[in-house]
Amino acid sequence: MEDITKPSITRLARRAGVKSVSDDCFNAIRHLIANRLDELILAALIVNSEHQTKTLMSDDVYDAFSLIGQNVTQSSDLGTSTCSK
């Protein structure tokens, strides 16, 4: 998980409202991301096998999120403008 760089972790932390990140935290954050991603991919593959398809679809990932207890909303209005004029 060395592909997740310090600047990218810092950007995510800033978006979450964190002012500064200690150097000791970066490896721990990488480890947490890897564990959560492994859990999500495993659940998505299980859902995909239940759907009996070979292609992993976005619905499989949304179902995997709900299977592991994460609330993620799905938008059917992708590509449309959300700003009213």
Residue 76 lies in a domain: no
Please state the pTM of the whole predicted model.
0.73
Q: Is residue 80 part of a domain?
A: no
Note down the domain range covering 17.
6-67
Whether residue 37 is predicted with pLDDT greater than 60 in this model: the reply is yes
Would 73 be classed as within a structural domain? no
| Inside any domain, residue 75 | no
pLDDT at 80: 56
The answer to whether residue 61 sits within a structural domain is: yes
**Residues 53, 58, 63, 69: what is their CA dihedral angle, to the nearest 10 degrees?**
140
Q: Would residue 33 count as lying in a domain?
A: yes
Q: What's the rounded mean pLDDT across residues 51-63?
A: 92
Amino acid at residue number 45:
L
Cβ(61)–Cβ(37) under 8 Å?
no
How confident is residue 85, by pLDDT bands cut at 50, 70 and 90?
A: very low
The total number of structural domains that make up the chain: 1
CATH code of the domain in which 11 resides = 1.10.20.10
pLDDT at 64: 94
Q: Please state, as a whole number, how many other Cβ atoms lie within 10 Å of the Cβ of residue 60.
A: 20
User: Does a structural domain hold residue 38?
Assistant: yes
